[in-house]
Amino acid sequence: MNAIFKALNDATRREILELLKIKDLTAGEIAAHFNISKPSISHHLDILKQADLITSEKKGQFVIYSINTTIMEDVLQWILTFKK
């Protein structure tokens, strides 16, 4: 759970998740939405993958990134346990 909150603590990573909520994208498509280097985008994607918030699948020469809705549901359920 700590890795998830660490990943969500960054605005760029939250914005990447917002993009992936709309549709699956390649790293290049994700990078086009930001004014930062491609290696920085790769770093953010690695942190999101380590937290299991996104998944990746190689299709030909491209890697397609998708949001992992199962983990998001688990986090939401955990947060809701604090609601009185």
CA distance 51 to 60: 25
Q: What is the pTM of this model?
A: 0.90
pLDDT for position 57: 96
pLDDT reported for residue 75: 87
CA-to-CA distance for 16 and 52, rounded, in angstroms? 14
Tens of pLDDT along the chain (84 residues)? 889 999 999 999 999 999 999 999 999 999 999 999 999 999 999 999 999 999 999 999 999 999 998 988 988 898 899 986
CA 10/CA 26 separation, integer angstroms = 20
